[in-house]
Amino acid sequence: MMDRRRLSHIMNKAAKARIAVVGDLMLDVYVWGKASRISQEAPVPVVQVRNRTQTIGGAANVMRNIVSLGARAKAFGVVGKDDAGKIIRSIISEQGIDDEFVLSDASRVSTQKQRIIAGTQQLLRIDYEKIEPVSSSIRANLTEGLLSAIGKGKVDAVIFEDYAKGVINRELAEAVNKEALRKGIITALDPHPSQPLEVKGLTLMTPNRSEAFALSGTYYKETQRPVEKDKALVDVAGKIMKRWAPEHLLITLGGDGMALFGRNGRCLAVPTKAREVFDVSGAGDTVIASFVLALLGGASPAEAAEISNHAAGVVVGKIGTAAITVDELFQSFFERE
């Protein structure tokens, strides 16, 4: 069991960490309003807008979680030369994230997801994006930047946050992973099944349940409880461990919590704490950020899983893509029954 002293020891040490995050940067926009009548133009609700808020999402949400947990993050990604791109960059730097490698490309459309919310009900999501591999010069710049940061000992871990929108490809991941292995730093991949980047020997992989099934080429099967006896899940984990050989495979299971697999083949199930759930988007970003930070803080894999499960449990209780603070983490551990 985690006590206060142990958690502060881990989080204090983690606060010294510097983490590079490479992946697809996004802008999450929320338009809040009230819908009380149907339009005369078409049978659709009319939303009377009250408020509009925006935050950074995708890989940038992983960075946001890292800084809100007290550590330092270095961004590696691309935005278009458009308004959304300017906003993404300015929020990144406002948050205190190092934006030296947030590159701009006039041929790209910055990824933006707009949600229209009436009361607490999401009515519509509007996506702006151009899913296409980034140009070879941008990819080369990002790779060089990452290799140099790792080579010069400027980062303690690298997180690949892949939403398969064009920033990460196999060459980038392989080159960066190789250098990270040479320097002995932590590497973590939140994989996207549409591009199973086959990099071997990562420290951590964090697919959700359906991504894990897709990565292993297995038809999806519903969760069996208890999780340790979920044979289909254990088989899927075995296949991923064989092909990717990560040190830790953390499969997130939504409301069922998470299952942690190590190279010894054992499965540790971490159930969620019952709590009110408002919005599960971004929970995966919090999981990878907090697990990596916990490891850098000296946590065991089981402790890191417990910490990231608490952290994700907090953000699913907030509306919108959210990040967690150290105070909130302590409250989740020690101030709820």
Ligand X SMILES: Nc1ncnc2c1ncn2[C@@H]1O[C@H](COP(=O)(O)OP(=O)(O)OP(=O)(O)O)[C@@H](O)[C@H]1O
Rounded distance between C-alpha atoms, residue 6 and residue 283, angstroms: 24
Residue number, 85 or 282, with CB nearest to Mg ion: 282
Residues of this chain, 189-208, that bind ligand X according to CB under 6 A: 208
Tell me whether residue 149 or residue 288 sits nearer to ligand X (CB atom). 288
> Active site includes 285?
yes
CB of 45 to ligand X, least distance (A): 26
Residue among 321, 330, 335 at smallest CA distance from 11: 330
Please say which residue, 31 or 316, places its beta carbon nearer to ligand X.
316
Residues pairing with 53 in the sheet: 30
Q: How far is the CB of 235 from ligand X (least distance, A)?
A: 19
142, 174 Cβ separation under 8 angstroms: no
Min separation Cβ 161 and Mg ion, Å? 9
End-to-end CA, the chain: 15
Considering only 246, 284, 301, 320, the residue that binds Mg ion (CB under 5 A) is 284
Contact 36, 106 (CB under 8 A): no
Residues in 207-246 at the binding interface with Mg ion, rule: CB under 5 A? none
DSSP run (H or E) holding 209: helix 209-215
- Closest separation in Å from C-beta 78 to ligand X: 20
Nearer of residues 166 and 207 to Mg ion, judged by Cβ: 207
Instruction: Phi first, then psi: give them for residue 331, nearest 5 degrees.
Output: -60, -40
Distances (CA, A) of 336 to 303, 310, 329: 19, 11, 11
With CB under 6 A as the contact rule, the residue among 214, 259, 296, 312 that binds ligand X is 312
CB atoms near residue 22 (< 10 Å)? 26
Residues making contact with Mg ion (CB under 5 A): 284
Which residues carry out catalysis? 285
Residues making contact with ligand X (CB under 6 A): 208, 252-255, 257-258, 272, 277, 280-285, 287, 309, 312-313, 316
